[in-house]
């Protein structure tokens, strides 16, 4: 199950604590194909999380329109799952009940109790059903968050730096898990990250965003064959070209000092 998402002419302006207007997003256009794995990448303040929250329906744009399968996005919907950076698990529920939350909230738990067990083993957390979130590691907690989002069978999964707080080994592990789940479910994946390697390793396309005001500066097709090799020639070449893009994008006149 997957769906396409269309974003056209989206503006989002915040008012900060001093009452000044901050343009978080400026005329953003993007079409995400059904079943695509797409990454939003850029330095902090470029509006990538803002864009993700708009797609989720947690926030509304001032101008422009977002739609999913031709339907306008007006609010949150379980058909668009969301994985937060960290700490979004309910600390008072054990792992099993955290994962089952969506089913219970939509009144579907009775008919699909078995599904909870399936999703627990899908993310490799058998034996931790009765543990509470504070008793498990950060990587396990993010796997719970992913299983919790996927149990609602979303057509699109929105991931807000889900691996940002993890060490590099756990991160690589979770990236492979995510690819595995994507292949299995075919869900449209939208990943916000600041890790270039992660974006290249996972995505079909990489959206590069720049700050002040937040906008899309480039969209790059990653046409490397899967499974990808993190040290492969194509991989490294792409990495280099993206890094160069960022340096260009951030190039500002530097003061010169002559001694």
Partner 1 sequence: MSTATVKLSSAVKENSSDRPKTVWDYKNNTFLLLKILFTVSGFIIAIIVNIFFPQKAAVELKNYGVSIASAVIGLTINDVYRAILVGLIAIYAFSGIRSFADTSDRKRYCKNAAFRFALGIALAIWDIGGTKLQVFAQPFFPGPAQVCEAYLADGKYIVQNMLYSLRLYGAGFSCGVLLGVGTGILIGWFPKVYYWVFPVLKITGVVPAVAWMPFALTLLPNSFTAAVFLIVICAWFQIAFLTAQGIQSTPKQNYEAARILGSSTPDLIFHVAIPHAMPDIFTGISSANAMAFTTLVMSEMLGQPGGLGYYINQSKVWSAYYKVLAAIVIMAVLFSLINHIIGRIKKHTLRWQEGVVKK
Q: Which residues bind partner 1 (CB under 8 A)?
A: 56, 58, 76-78, 80-82, 84, 87-88, 90-94, 101-102, 104-106, 132, 134-135, 148-149, 152
Minimum gap (Å) between residue 101 Cβ and partner 1: 5
| Nearer CB in complex with partner 1: 84/246 | 84
| Nearer CB in complex with partner 1: 70/75 | 75
Is the CB of residue 210 less than 8 Å from the CB of residue 224? no
| Nearer CB in complex with partner 1: 106/226 | 106
| Nearer CB in complex with partner 1: 73/196 | 73
| Nearer CB in complex with partner 1: 77/204 | 77
Q: CA–CA separation, 145 vs 182, rounded Å?
A: 15
Q: CA–CA separation, 142 vs 58, rounded Å?
A: 20
Minimum gap (Å) between residue 105 Cβ and partner 1: 4
| Nearer CB in complex with partner 1: 101/182 | 101
Q: CA–CA separation, 98 vs 116, rounded Å?
A: 10
Minimum gap (Å) between residue 59 Cβ and partner 1: 10
Minimum gap (Å) between residue 107 Cβ and partner 1: 9
DSSP the chain: ----EEEEEEEEEEE-TTS-EEEEEEEEEEEE-TT-EEEEE-STTSSHHHHHHHHHTSS--SEEEEEETTEEP-S--TTEEEE-SS--S-TTS-HHHHHHHHHHHTT-TGGGHHHHHHHHHHTT-TT-TT--GGGS-HHHHHHHHHHHHHTT--SEEEEESTTTTS-HHHHHHHHHHHHHHHHHH--EEEEEES-HHHHHHH-SEEEEEETTTTEEEEEEE--PPSSP-TT-HHHHHHHHHHHHHHHHHH--PPP----
Minimum gap (Å) between residue 95 Cβ and partner 1: 11
| Nearer CB in complex with partner 1: 157/196 | 157
Minimum gap (Å) between residue 158 Cβ and partner 1: 9
């Amino acid at each position: 199950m997957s769906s396409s998402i269309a974003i056209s002419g989206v503006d989002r302006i915040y008012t900060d604590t001093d009452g000044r207007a901050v343009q978080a997003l400026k005329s953003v256009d993007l079409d995400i194909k059904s079943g695509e794995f797409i990454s939003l990448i850029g330095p902090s303040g470029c509006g990538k999380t803002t864009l993700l929250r708009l797609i989720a329906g947690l926030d509304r744009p001032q101008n422009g329109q977002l739609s999913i399968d031709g339907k306008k996005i007006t609010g949150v919907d379980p058909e668009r799952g969301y994985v937060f950076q960290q700490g979004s698990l309910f600390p008072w529920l054990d792992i099993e009940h955290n994962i089952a939350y969506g089913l219970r909230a939509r009144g579907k738990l009775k008919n699909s109790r078995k599904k909870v067990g399936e999703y627990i083993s899908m993310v490799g957390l058998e034996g931790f059903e009765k543990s509470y979130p504070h008793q498990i590691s950060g990587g396990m907690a993010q796997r719970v968050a992913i299983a919790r989002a996927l149990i609602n069978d979303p057509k699109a999964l929105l991931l807000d730096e889900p691996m940002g707080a993890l060490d590099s080994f756990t991160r690589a592990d979770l990236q492979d898990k995510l690819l595995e789940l994507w292949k299995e479910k075919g869900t449209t994946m939208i990943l916000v990250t600041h890790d270039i390697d992660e974006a290249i390793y996972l995505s079909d396309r990489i959206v590069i965003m720049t700050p002040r005001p937040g906008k899309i500066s480039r969209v790059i097709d990653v046409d490397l064959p899967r499974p990808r090799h993190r040290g492969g020639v194509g991989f490294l070449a792409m990495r280099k070209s993206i890094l160069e893009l960022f340096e260009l994008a951030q190039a500002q006149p530097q003061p010169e000092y002559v001694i």
